[in-house]
């Protein structure tokens, strides 16, 4: 089953916004019977098209008062340097996303911290200590008028 089917596209859009919607309600939105809708969702899950479901956490209530994106440039453009950096980032709880990107830097990180002091500690004591890191540029999030991450 592919996502290029218009009904599957609609199912994916709805599940992307409301992952806890009941199958009955989902079926009503897409105009299929509940059993046909469930078969489609299960097929997309089995194929790996739908990889999972998540809770969207309110950062304020979770005590996250600081979010930033960090562009990371490495000092070596080698597989070994990338692997070492990625292993270090994988265990850093402040890093919520890590993307290998093209352009003037190798990585873009989304970092969440309790406050500026906690971020400074992460920036200095974690990122600043990695031997692979040549340069860091931080972009502080001041607001998120649109955020569709699931």
- For 68-88, the pLDDT digits (tens) are 999 999 999 999 999 999 999
Given pLDDT bands bounded at 50, 70 and 90, which one contains residue 148? confident
Taking the mean position of all CA atoms in its chain, how far away is CA 15? 16
Cα angle vertex 106, ends 101, 111, to 5°? 80
Per-residue burial over 86-100, b if 16 or more Cβ lie within 10 Å, else e, is eebbeeeebbeebee
For residue 130, give the nearest of 78, 79, 97, 92 by alpha carbon: 92
Identify the pLDDT of residue 2.
54
pLDDT at 149: 80
Residue 3 has pLDDT above 80, yes or no: no
- Spatial separation of the C-alpha atoms in residues 76 and 81, rounded to whole Å: 6
With 50 as the cut, is the pLDDT of residue 1 above it? no
pTM of the model: 0.82
Higher pLDDT, 61 or 149: 61
Q: Return the structure tokens found at 40.
A: 């489609």
Q: Write down the mean pLDDT value for the chain.
A: 95
């Amino acid at each position: 089953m592919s996502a290029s089917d218009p009904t599957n596209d609609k199912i994916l859009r709805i599940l992307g916004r409301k992952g806890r919607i009941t199958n009955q309600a989902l079926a009503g939105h897409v105009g299929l019977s509940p059993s046909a809708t469930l078969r489609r969702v299960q097929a997309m899950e089995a194929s790996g098209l739908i990889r999972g479901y998540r809770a969207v956490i309110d950062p304020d209530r979770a005590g996250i008062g600081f979010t930033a994106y960090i562009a990371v440039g490495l000092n070596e453009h080698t597989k070994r340097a990338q692997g070492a950096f990625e292993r270090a980032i994988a265990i850093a709880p402040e890093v919520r996303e890590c993307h290998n990107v093209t352009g003037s830097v190798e990585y873009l990180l989304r970092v969440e911290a309790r406050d500026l002091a906690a971020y400074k500690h992460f920036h200095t004591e974690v990122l600043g200590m990695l031997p692979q890191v040549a340069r860091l540029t931080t972009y502080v999030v001041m607001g998120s008028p649109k955020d569709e991450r699931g």
